[in-house]
Amino acid sequence: MRGPHNIWRLIRTGATLERTGAMGVVLEAFRAPPRLRLVARILGWPFKWLGHEGDPAHPPLTRALTALGPAYIKFGQILSTRPDVVGDDLALQLRLLQDRLPPFPTADARRVIEQELELPVEALFSEFSEPVAAASIAQVHYARRADTGEEVAVKVLRPGILRAFRKDIDAFYFAASMIEFLSPSSRRLRPREVIAHFEGVVMGELDLRLEASASAEFAANTAQDAGFRVPRADWMLSGRQVMTMSWVDGVPLGDNAALDAAGHDRPAIAARVLQLFLLHALRDGYFHADMHQGNLKVAPNGDVVALDFGIMGRIDQYTRRVYAEILYGFIRKDYRRVAEVHFEAGYVPADRDIDEFARALRSVGEPIFGMDATRISMARLLNYLFEVTERFGMETRTELILLQRTMVVVEGVARSLDPHINIWKVSQPVVEGYIRDHIGPRAMLRDLAETGRVLSRFGPRLPQMVEIMLRRQMHDPIPVIVERRRTPVLWMAAGAALTAAGVWLGTLI
């Protein structure tokens, strides 16, 4: 239950950070001001003895996050992709959270499989290994199907993971409520709505049937994408707590030394990862929303292989166009158009000055345009972006959280592969291709065709709908009953014309 009892959970969080030595690491990484450092120490030190000890073999922050639970580990996974924010050493330490967490016993995994698939493990698999990777929610075992001999990866949820996540999220809700109460200015960031969005995403991740479905859809969308591969889900050997997929050999994307030893071109892979994300987000409106290094491999032939489809993002056609226009405006340095798009989409309140907003955007874009990643301080940039959003009253758009978060993660992954990557230059071909195909005369014709198709389906009912609206406008008390035989010939002709127009435009586009 969400309530004051969660104060204990939050106190224990601070105490764990203090006990493991992670408090100072966090404050230093985020360049906390002296006043905040003092308050954090005062609140954390007296309760230090209440904190979890964690595994002393791990570095302080990794030790603290693994002790606190899966929701905290998720946060650490995001930070692990941002060495430009937390520093190279800390980011490297946090990569342990991606797929090298302590596994749970294989006996427990076997028990879950047999409970879920209702057959002994020996009847399903001729080989079943110890865990080959363990993350916050599940672990993976190498196996070989007993009937076909096919090599597969078997993903099994951690026992008790649902209860653990609910407890963490419960505390997060309480913290968000306290933040809104103590800092009214934070309400524009919608802390509770952000937590609700996070809860929905995570709860979907805890049903592996949904992940199997996501992988199948993602594979269908990307089947023709060169240099990219999605493993095939095995529906017969999957359930809520178990998912079986085809086995993939490859080098983890976070192991630069292994990538170099295998002869892979890291700058080319970095560019491909960034372009693939943009392509999937803009073209399909359906993208992998957890693209940290632990979920990506490079196959022996150089293909990028995506894994773990528990968190997927979806954006509608209109949002894709807005997103593309914003990126395109930055690429062309057309900050006035970027500002207009923000106002048109309602991202900035209409009572703000559009020219002032365009000037603020220029101050964001100009210092980083054309520079390689090593010359950009992402920490300072993010801090300034926060100031801009506060100044112009911009609220958090919960429908864009996954898109924005994934963009930050993917850009961090690309940086880790190629520190000198120019994100604008790499993004330009994908964004320009989308703009060319989806914004302009051709897109307008396609939209008209789709509108015609939709209207044509309602052609026979249009007279009735119009008459109902007219009578409501005139406050006519007479019941509206329109029989098919009384439908005017003119309306029938209009419906037929719309149908024909829709079909004709569809053949052209």
Burial class (CB in 10 A: 0-12, 13-18, 19+), 134: middle
Amino acid at 411: E
CA distances (Å), origin 112, targets 124, 140, 154, 156, 206: 13, 13, 12, 7, 14
**pLDDT for residue 505:** 35
- Contacts for 489-495: CB closer than 8 Å, 24+ residues apart: 491/459, 491/462, 491/463, 492/459, 492/460, 494/459, 494/462, 495/456, 495/459, 495/460, 495/462
**pLDDT for residue 491:** 37
Q: Beta partners for 127?
A: 144
- The answer to whether residue 63 is domain-embedded is yes
Classified as helix, coil or strand, 220 is helix
Q: What is the per-residue burial (b if ≥16 Cβ within 10 Å, else e) of 173-193?
A: bbbbbeebeeeeeeeebbbbe
Distance CA 136, CA 70 (A): 5
**pLDDT for residue 318:** 84
Same domain assignment for residues 354 and 461: no
Distance CA 309, CA 220 (A): 14
> Which of 247, 281, 298 is a domain's end point?
247
Same domain assignment for residues 93 and 14: yes
Characterize the bridge pairing of strands 242-246 and 251-252: unpaired
Nearest Cα residue to 408 out of 430, 388, 385: 385
Same domain assignment for residues 419 and 311: yes
> Which of 247, 275, 298 is a domain's end point?
247
- The answer to whether residue 234 is domain-embedded is yes
What's CA 359's distance to the chain center, in Å?
Answer: 29
- The answer to whether residue 165 is domain-embedded is yes
Convert 8-53 into a string of H (helix), E (strand) and C (coil): HHHHHHHHHHHHCCHHHHHHHHCCCCHHHHHHHHHHHHHHHHHCCC
Distance CA 499, CA 449 (A): 9
Q: Which domain holds residue 17?
A: 6-99
Distance CA 47, CA 30 (A): 23
pTM above 0.75, yes or no: no
Same domain assignment for residues 167 and 198: yes
Q: Which of 290, 316, 334, 353 is catalytic?
A: 290
Nearest Cα residue to 80 out of 253, 240, 233: 253
**pLDDT for residue 31:** 65
CB 320 within 8 A of CB 282: yes
Distance CA 310, CA 93 (A): 24
Same domain assignment for residues 200 and 267: no
Spell out the alpha helix ranges (H) of 332-440: 335-344, 354-365, 378-391, 401-417, 423-438
> Which of 218, 247, 276 is a domain's end point?
247
Burial class (CB in 10 A: 0-12, 13-18, 19+), 417: buried
**pLDDT for residue 99:** 62
Nearest Cα residue to 47 out of 5, 9, 4, 2: 9
The residues near 457 (Cβ < 8 Å, ≥ 6 apart) are none
- The answer to whether residue 20 is domain-embedded is yes
- The answer to whether residue 403 is domain-embedded is yes
Lookup: tokens for 138: 């599940």
- For every one of its 509 residues, what pLDDT tens digit does the chain have, with 9 covering 90 and above? 455 566 777 777 878 888 887 777 777 766 666 766 676 666 667 777 777 888 888 888 888 888 887 778 877 776 666 665 566 677 777 777 766 678 899 999 999 999 999 999 999 999 999 999 888 789 999 999 999 999 999 999 998 888 888 877 877 787 777 767 766 666 666 677 767 777 777 777 888 999 999 999 999 999 999 999 999 999 999 999 999 999 999 999 888 999 999 999 999 999 999 999 999 998 999 999 888 888 899 999 999 999 989 888 888 888 888 888 888 888 788 889 888 988 888 888 888 899 998 998 888 777 766 665 566 555 555 556 656 776 777 766 666 667 777 887 888 889 889 988 888 788 888 888 888 877 766 666 776 777 777 777 776 777 777 778 777 776 655 444 444 444 444 433 344 333 333 333 333 33
Same domain assignment for residues 432 and 486: no
Distance CA 194, CA 217 (A): 26
Same domain assignment for residues 127 and 68: no
CB 232 within 8 A of CB 245: yes
Same domain assignment for residues 150 and 73: no
Same domain assignment for residues 168 and 305: no
Distance CA 103, CA 142 (A): 14
Same domain assignment for residues 235 and 277: no
Same domain assignment for residues 243 and 255: no
Question: Other CB atoms closer than 10 Å to residue 109's CB: what's the count?
Answer: 27
Q: Is 355 a catalytic residue?
A: no
Q: What is the per-residue burial (b if ≥16 Cβ within 10 Å, else e) of 8-24?
A: ebebbbbbbbbbbebbb
Angle at 102 between CA 97 and CA 103, to 5 degrees: 115
Amino acid at 114: E
Same domain assignment for residues 92 and 232: no
In the chain, how many domains are there?
4
Distance CA 66, CA 273 (A): 28
Distance CA 214, CA 56 (A): 38
Distance CA 133, CA 256 (A): 18
- The answer to whether residue 1 is domain-embedded is no
